Amino acid sequence: MVDISAASSLLTEEERTFQTVVRQFMEREVRPHVEEMEREGRASDEILKKMGSAGILGAFAPEAYGGGGGNLMTRTIVAEETARINAGLDISLMVNISLVARHLIERGTEEQKQRYLVPLLAGDTWASICITETHGGSNALSPKTRAVRDGDDWIITGSKMFITNSPIAGFFLVFARTSGEDRRAAGGTLFIVDADTPGLSAGKPFDKLSMRSSPTAEVAFDGVRVSADHVLGEVDRGFYYMLEGLDLERVFEGASNVGSLQACLDLAVEYSGEREVFGKKLESYQLTQDKIARMAMGLEMSKVMLYQLIRALDAGETVTRAASVLKLYSSQAAMEAASDTVQILGGYGLMEEYPAARLFRDAKHHEIGAGTSEIQKIIIARETYKSYGH
């Protein structure tokens, strides 16, 4: 395939070379293990370690902690190429790297970075980020999980729901209310909790429709005691970090969707170029071409916007509304593309021997995770009114 997308022109020569290297790595080291990951409900520690050793995990992180010293675009390229092969592995890595590692880089002490960031970038451990609770993930500023001071320590009590990587994580970033009222950003604190801390327990992985390669479970905090040096950043500022992290996560959801869209297009073009119906290749029918054109359009638009937003984030700009636009648009485009891919494959699209069924299942996740489509519309409308002074 020749890359004819307009978005490529937004990459530097060096970034394009990096993209080729990552793509080859994914084809060689990851693709042969996708079925095993889906079956086992997780990627193996060996794959994670290989990615760490190849410098793929920490490409954007400071060299002092084992990273490659690159910009956020390098992380985007890795996310896109991972999702193109397996969206489940991509969300596990999104948590490890785009969320947890980034919080540690932004606000960790030197000791926290050495202890948690270095092994994460090296691919020696998995990590989790705990925001959602059983009473409703959309209302993220009203957690029931609390942390109270006890001398120099903090005691965390509560539970978190749908936590990616939790059955295999070495440590957790946990958002808990430490002061203030529900639905207020002030008064939340971000804690680092080791998996073996007494009182912390992760449940059994859920059996789920989407993202089967990524383990998800409930996590309970039953009077979990941590010392003050487990606070990440400042006390009572944690929910501001969460909101900032969510903007970034939504942009990275765009990268995941771009990878999924590309995977759909790859499969749909290949299959329709081979399959004959009524004596002619599927690709020669205009009803097939309509599907391919809409897929290519969704991919092109999502990718251009993704790369623009990554450049804006690298320049330190706030992109709240645009991040929601990208998340909403690209997840709708990916869902439609996955549905059309299944359709192009006909009955084979519903069989597990082709990746279309997995692409279809996984695409649905991005209309729900990291803020549902309804929440993105609420944010887009709110930010739009705000910009008019309402």
Ligand X SMILES: Cc1cc2nc3c(=O)[nH]c(=O)nc-3n(C[C@H](O)[C@H](O)[C@H](O)COP(=O)(O)OP(=O)(O)OC[C@H]3O[C@@H](n4cnc5c(N)ncnc54)[C@H](O)[C@@H]3O)c2cc1C
The residue among 238 and 371 lying less far from ligand X, judged by its C-beta, is 371
Contact segment (CB under 6 A) with ligand X among 39-47, 129-137, 252-260, 312-320 equals 129-137
Contact segment (CB under 6 A) with ligand X among 135-143, 225-233, 242-250, 280-288 equals 135-143
When binding is defined by CB under 6 A, the residue of 76, 82, 216, 331 that contacts ligand X is 216
When binding is defined by CB under 6 A, the residue of 162, 172, 241, 360 that contacts ligand X is 162
Q: How far is the CB of 2 from ligand X (least distance, A)?
A: 35
By CB under 6 A, residue 176 contacts ligand X: no
By CB under 6 A, residue 51 contacts ligand X: no
The residue among 104 and 344 lying less far from ligand X, judged by its C-beta, is 104
In this chain, which residue has its C-beta nearest to ligand X? 137
Q: Hey, which residues between 184 and 213 contact ligand X (CB under 6 A)?
A: 211
Question: Which amino acids are annotated catalytic?
Answer: 249
Contact segment (CB under 6 A) with ligand X among 296-304, 313-321, 349-357, 362-370 equals 362-370
By CB under 6 A, residue 238 contacts ligand X: no
Contact segment (CB under 6 A) with ligand X among 66-74, 291-299, 324-332, 366-374 equals 366-374
By CB under 6 A, residue 375 contacts ligand X: yes
Q: How far is CA 372 from CA 26, 189, 215, 328, 379, in A?
A: 29, 24, 20, 8, 11
Q: Hey, which residues between 75 and 114 contact ligand X (CB under 6 A)?
A: 95
Three-state helix/strand/coil letters over the chain = CCCCCHHHHHCCHHHHHHHHHHHHHHHHHHHHHHHHHHHHCCCCHHHHHHHHHCCCCCCCCCHHHCCCCCCHHHHHHHHHHHHHHCHHHHHHHHHHHHHHHHHHHHHCCHHHHHHHHHHHHHCCCEEEEECCCCCCCCCCCCCCCEEEEECCEEEEEEEEEEEECCCCEEEEEEEEECCCCCCCCCCEEEEEEECCCCCEEECCCCCCCCCCCCCEEEEEEEEEEEEHHHECCCCCEHHHHHHHHHHHHHHHHHHHHHHHHHHHHHHHHHHHHHCEECCEEHHHCHHHHHHHHHHHHHHHHHHHHHHHHHHHHHCCCCCHHHHHHHHHHHHHHHHHHHHHHHHHHHHHHHCCCCCHHHHHHHHHHCCCCCCCHHHHHHHHHHHHHHHCCC
By CB under 6 A, residue 302 contacts ligand X: no
When binding is defined by CB under 6 A, the residue of 19, 82, 96, 164 that contacts ligand X is 164
When binding is defined by CB under 6 A, the residue of 74, 86, 92, 132 that contacts ligand X is 132
Q: How far is the CB of 137 from ligand X (least distance, A)?
A: 2
By CB under 6 A, residue 234 contacts ligand X: no
By CB under 6 A, residue 245 contacts ligand X: no
By CB under 6 A, residue 335 contacts ligand X: no
User: What residue ranges bind ligand X (CB under 6 A)?
Assistant: 95, 128-132, 136-138, 162-164, 211, 216, 365, 368-372, 374-375, 378
